[in-house]
Chain A
Amino acid sequence: MARKFTPKVLTANDLLEGDVIYMTADGQWVRDHASAELIEDETIADMRMLTAQGQQDHIVGPYLADAKAGPNGPEPTHFREEFRTRGPSNYYHGKQADTSKESANV
């Protein structure tokens, strides 16, 4: 039996900034995990991954990361992905310091 597919978000780093980005349901790259598409079907996941691989002129290192549904959108399930939504813990740098969620589209 195939391993059960667990929900995922598609994530990568932005080519110019290096910042963590996520793919939305309409194929946009955004900086906010909660705005990402929660992919619950393996076939769709594979398709999204293929799309991303074709976009490597402005993104780097796309991969599927485990996530779960939350009240405001997908939430990470592993601590590494949680850190990626925030930034480092020793300084208030990275996403946690980003005041402009609205201007987050890349």
Chain B
Amino acid sequence: MYKYSDFDEAFVRERCAQFRGQVERRIDGSLTEEEFRPLRLMNGLYLQLHAYMLRIAVPYGTLRSDQMRQFAHIADTWDKGYGHFTTRQNIQFNWPKLKDVPDILDALADVQMHAIQTSGNTIRNTTVDHFAGAAADEIADPRPTAELIRQWSTDHPEFQFLPRKFKIAVGAAKHDRAVLRAHDVAVELVEEDGQPGYRIFVGGGLGRTPMIGQVVRDFLPKADLLPYLEAIVSTYNLLGRRDNKYKARIKITVFENGLDTFRDLAEAEFARIRDGFSGVDQDVLADLERQFALPAFKNADPSALSAAVAVDPTLAAWVARNTNPHKVETHASVTISLKEHGKTPGDASSEQMRVMADLADAYGYGELRVSHEQNIIMPHVAKADLPAVFTALAKVGLATANAGLTSDIIACPGMDYCALATARSIPVAEKIALRVQELGLEQEIGLMKIKISGCINACGHHHVGHIGILGLDRAGVENYQITLGGDGTENAAIGQRTGPGFAYDEVVPAVERLLKTYLEKRETAEETFLDAYRRLGADPFKEALYGDAKKNAA
């Protein structure tokens, strides 16, 4: 598996030592908060509502078992025994003490991890499809490309002070599991006439002005990736607005200037700088592709699984829901659900982390992934080992068979933690999951993406939820806006607002009405909520949400 080069190790250690000095100087009073704040943000340290929060990058969501074990150690030693996995494929610790943060960063560096550039107006953690390197439907592993982008963007002198933060995602399958079209720039591995290359999207983003990314280049030869990205970022760096933080993201730049103008400028810049790239990057990429080579898969007879599934319906349900087709017929990718009904989406206790690390060592070639849907993935598991993995997960509350179902909710930290929040999101997710479990309708409903954000920043991706929920503060009371029809896949769409929001206690019943309306109106069990919404339009769902209120008002 891929390891940092020596240069990175020295760089990360130096940053740790620097930050230790900065923390000491903040504590002894020689640095003011004004001076310290940008320094701590550069190192992933936020001050939230009740405590500091440390955000740790998990580059393209790929974790080794020893790194997961180190998270458990950090959670037990310096935090409250758990960690929170996020939609940026990161992990956050919610309770570190300022003086302990340098020790945490050292402990991270011991396993080649860090919290650098998880904030600030820089190029952030590059995200990828969480089944990267394993999915049956991908054309190649997108992670070498993501790592190349990470190396190019980390500490890139020109791009430390962009107009605004910049997020890149990489995918490699027709089915988009990485929300490519909601990113500032997205890179999709494609082939044209047998030649490998990339399709480049630009100008997607969520937040207060959600936009779907557009194709700026349909086919870019593989060797041209970095000069092309550099041209895009430079064009944005020049053109992007710095006068208004709400208009500073590249989506606004592209929108205000028009895609064609933006493309022309980027292409001209590309033509200008292209020859300056000597091709060293291609050697690096070739080397990365070797380093990301797949493990030597064991040859285990999968028929043991069929036998076990035949006699154990709970195992059967879990295998059906929580595994994804693998490149290698004898294997599967496992989704470990961090969405036990009634629990905080994305949280894992230190005990659960250790179990996942041990399982990765025993059955998963030492590899784990963080998914943007706030679950953990075991990318490679022999089908014959699935029963053993299931049994071990079930013992620690990690075998909920709900991947892609109603209770597999994305929720941002919201007002339980986040200082920017206008309402809570976690308890809303918990209550929806409990209610749908109580109703026993989850399997029948099938594919359903509910996504919840606690403010307009949209960290919970609510715009691309089939049902999106946005928590707001309306005259000093929590109020929740519902959007319908959002989609984060290759058919990306921004959800449409249904109408007035709902009070905290009304959200769960409102969602329940939507679910029941769908079950009544769908043509077949195969027609998903999203399909039904697209066929029927918003009206029947609005009726379900507001019908009574309308009648009462009349």
Binding site for B on A (CB under 8 A): 13, 15-20, 56-57, 60-61, 77-80, 83-84, 87-91, 93-95
Contact = CB atoms under 8 A, between A and B. Distances in A.
A79 B33 CA distance: 27
B98 interface: yes
A17 B96 CA distance: 8
B3 to A, nearest CB: 33
A87 B98 contact: no
Interface string B214-237: 000000000000000000000000
B27 A90 contact: no
A95 B49 CA distance: 11
B507 to A, nearest CB: 14
B29 interface: yes
Assign chain B's interface to a size class. 20 to 34
A93 to B, nearest CB: 6
Contact of A89 (B32, B96, B427): B427
A91 B344 CA distance: 9
B416 A90 contact: yes
A33 B347 CA distance: 29
B95 A93 contact: yes
26 contacts: A13-B47, A15-B27, A15-B33, A16-B98, A17-B97, A18-B51, A18-B95, A18-B96, A18-B98, A60-B33, A60-B47, A79-B477, A80-B421, A83-B415, A84-B49, A88-B50, A88-B416, A88-B417, A90-B344, A90-B426, A90-B427, A90-B430, A91-B80, A91-B344, A94-B51, A95-B50
Contact of B476 (A60, A79, A87): A79
Contact of A20 (B29, B49, B80): B49
B478 interface: yes
A61 B476 CA distance: 22
Interface string B89-116: 0000011111100000000000000000
Contacts of A80: 49, 415, 421, 473
A20 B33 contact: no
B384 to A, nearest CB: 38
A17 B417 CA distance: 15
B481 to A, nearest CB: 17
Contacts of B477: 79
Contacts of B466: none
B103 to A, nearest CB: 14
Given A13-B47, A18-B50, A93-B80, 6 more contacts: A15-B33, A16-B98, A79-B476, A88-B50, A89-B426, A91-B344
Contact of B33 (A56, A87, A94): A56
A32 to B, nearest CB: 14
Given A79-B476, A89-B427, A57 B29 contact: yes
Nearest to B52: A18
B347 to A, nearest CB: 8
A83 B27 contact: no
Nearest to B430: A90
A89 B26 contact: no
B26 A15 contact: yes
Contacts of B29: 57
Contacts of A56: 32-33
Contacts of B164: none
Interface string B458-482: 0000000000000001001110000
Contacts of A93: 50, 80, 94-95
Contacts of B417: 88
Nearest to A88: B416
Interface string B415-426: 111000100101
Nearest to A96: B50
Given A57-B29, A78-B476, A89-B424, A83 B416 contact: yes
**Which of A56, A87, A90, A94 has the largest number of chain B CB atoms within 10 A?**
A90
Contacts of A16: 27, 97-99
Contacts of A20: 49-50
